[in-house]
A and B are shown apart, each in its own frame.
Chain A
Amino acid sequence: MSTDSYKIDINGLKKQFGDLVVLRDINLKVPTGDVVALIGPSGSGKSTLLRCMNLLIIPDGGTVQIGKDAFSFGPGTRLPSGQQQARFRMGTGMVFQHFNLFPHMTVLQNVMEGPVSAKGTPKAEAAVLARKLLAKVGLAEKADVYPQRLSGGQKQRVAIARALAMEPDVMLFDEATSALDPELVSEVLSVMKDLAAEGMTMIIVTHEIAFAREVADTVVFMRDGVVVEEGPARTVIDNPVQEATRSFLKHFHTRN
């Protein structure tokens, strides 16, 4: 396989905060349309890895390539400018644990913000797109309310629509269901599942092991800033090879 067929290609990625090494030497290749679940204990570096993929955290070393855009980091490289970073991030959509909807904007304005302010899409056109995406996540009738009037599950679905409005190549999910009440988790997971079925390339940091097993093509288990084990989702979750993976998965009931 040539490198071109990978949507995401990460090589030798390193990051440390002060003395704390968070990512040691991460390599990850994701073919177009694949869904990768990043699992592991808290502090394993999975959220940091996700944030390095859209440069919300600037890596200390290694390369990050998404689609045709690639950046190298570390000694002898130039930090990408603010403009370059912003353009790069347009190609990736991110969904956060705490939704981070803009409270001073209506649901519709939240979804329009990216196309209008980052891409310069005319407002009327962005509104049409936003309404289409809100319908897709089942929230067409909430277009004109403010986010604080929504439930957690509804907020997260709006956040997904907001990210999709940039028509990204890749979607990054950072514990998208961890802050939700249990009964609201499934409505968000079902939207994510639909996206995966449509062929969206997705990286999902999650504690929903059953969901990872069902939806992900690949599961990556991380601990202490390294990838401990990586493989087809069912294989890794049902028959982990590494002791660390086994002991981590013991905490979950993977088959409902």
Chain B
Amino acid sequence: MYQWDFSILWSYRGLLFEGTLVTIALTAAVIVLGLMIGLVAGLAQLSRFAALRWLSWGYIELFRCTPLLVQLLWFYYALPLLIGIEMTAITASILTLALYGGSFYAEVIRGGIQSIDTGQREAGLALGLTSGKVMRRIVLPQAVKQMIPPLMNQSIIQFKNTSLVSVLAVPDLLYQGQAAATETYRPLEVYTVIAIIYFVVLVPLTAIVKKSEKSLRASD
């Protein structure tokens, strides 16, 4: 029978802690960047101009419908060959994850905007507001309320998605864990601990999502 032994991992606590910080920082970066990309792509989906709609549709479907792992490898290894731009592993990771997350955010943002009654837009226009002001002052503030729960959900998924960057040797939690596993020959213990760390970070976040959903409903 297998003898579990977690004690040997104690000496790797510094490494795993560093990895956790990298994972958190990476997640924060791809969420912020992804939201900006998602907002632009989501608004473009609703544009009057067909070219913009097609362009954002192409982007969204390309990133939603291909595996993230392939995207990561492609951005890091294939893009430099094609356009001659070398990227560090971190840059390629942030860019890919932000574009991937942005494609999902875009759909949430488009859906949130479309869920607002057209009468709201009409009322804003009838007052003499321009379309842009109607969007900023009337539609978006209401749509954001609808968007927050799915956006937070998507962000939790993004947190876990960052574990894939270990294939590009970005020193995130999983990568550091792999290093520890190789040295200790204790992969089962290492991966169990890694799962626990992800869990401990994410559970409070999901609780916040639940709470925000509740308070948003209450304010209706």
The secondary-structure label for the interface of chain B is helix
Task: Report how far A56 CA is from B125 CA in the complex, Å.
Answer: 7
Closest approach, in angstroms, between the C-beta of B192 and any C-beta of chain A?
46
Task: Report how far A56 CA is from B127 CA in the complex, Å.
Answer: 11
- The number of chain A residues with a CB under 8 A from chain B is 29
Of the listed stretches A91-99, A127-135, A209-217, A224-232, name the one at the interface; the rest are far from the partner chain. Answer: A91-99
In the complex, the answer to whether A114 meets B129 with C-beta atoms within 8 Å is yes
Contact of B130 among A82, A114, A166 (CB under 8 A): A82
Chain B residue contacts of A102, Cβ below 8 A: 120, 123-124, 138, 142
In the complex, the answer to whether B128 meets A119 with C-beta atoms within 8 Å is yes
B207 contacts the other chain (CB 8 A): no
In the complex, the answer to whether A118 meets B120 with C-beta atoms within 8 Å is no
In the complex, the answer to whether A92 meets B126 with C-beta atoms within 8 Å is yes
Interface string of B113-154 (1 = CB under 8 A from A): 000010110111111111101000110011001000000000
Contact of B122 among A56, A92, A113, A162 (CB under 8 A): A56
In the complex, the answer to whether A89 meets B127 with C-beta atoms within 8 Å is yes
A163 contacts the other chain (CB 8 A): yes
In the complex, the answer to whether B137 meets A113 with C-beta atoms within 8 Å is yes
Chain B residue contacts of A54, Cβ below 8 A: 126
Which chain B residue lies CB-closest to A83?
B130
Chain B residue contacts of A56, Cβ below 8 A: 122, 125-126
Task: Report how far A81 CA is from B154 CA in the complex, Å.
Answer: 38
A90 contacts the other chain (CB 8 A): yes
Closest approach, in angstroms, between the C-beta of A138 and any C-beta of chain B?
21
Contact of B119 among A85, A92, A93, A98 (CB under 8 A): A98
Among A78-127, those with CB < 8 Å from B are 82-83, 85-87, 89-90, 92-94, 96, 98, 100-104, 113-114, 117-119
Chain B residue contacts of A89, Cβ below 8 A: 125-128
Chain A residue contacts of B127, Cβ below 8 A: 89-90, 113-114, 117-118, 162-163, 166
Which chain B residue lies CB-closest to A57?
B122
Which chain B residue lies CB-closest to A97?
B119
Chain B residue contacts of A94, Cβ below 8 A: 122-123, 126
Chain B residue contacts of A87, Cβ below 8 A: 128
In the complex, the answer to whether B131 meets A100 with C-beta atoms within 8 Å is no
Chain A residue contacts of B128, Cβ below 8 A: 86-87, 89-90, 114, 118-119, 166
Q: With A96-B122, A113-B137 given, is the CB distance from A104 to B130 under 8 Å?
A: no
Which chain B residue lies CB-closest to A89?
B128
Which chain A residue lies CB-closest to B137?
A117
Task: Report how far A166 CA is from B145 CA in the complex, Å.
Answer: 29
Which chain B residue lies CB-closest to A148?
B220
> What is the interface of chain B, defined by CB distance below 8 A to chain A?
117, 119-120, 122-131, 133, 137-138, 141-142, 145, 220
In the complex, the 6 A-B pairs of residues with the closest C-beta atoms, listed nearest first: A90-B128, A100-B123, A114-B127, A118-B128, A100-B119, A94-B126
- Give 11 pairs: A residue, B residue, CB < 8 Å, sorted on A: A82-B131, A85-B125, A86-B129, A100-B122, A100-B123, A113-B127, A114-B128, A117-B133, A117-B137, A119-B128, A163-B126
Given A102-B120, A114-B127, A114-B129, 16 additional A-B pairs, CB 8 A: A54-B126, A56-B126, A82-B131, A86-B125, A87-B128, A89-B125, A90-B127, A98-B119, A100-B117, A100-B122, A102-B138, A113-B138, A117-B127, A117-B133, A159-B123, A163-B126
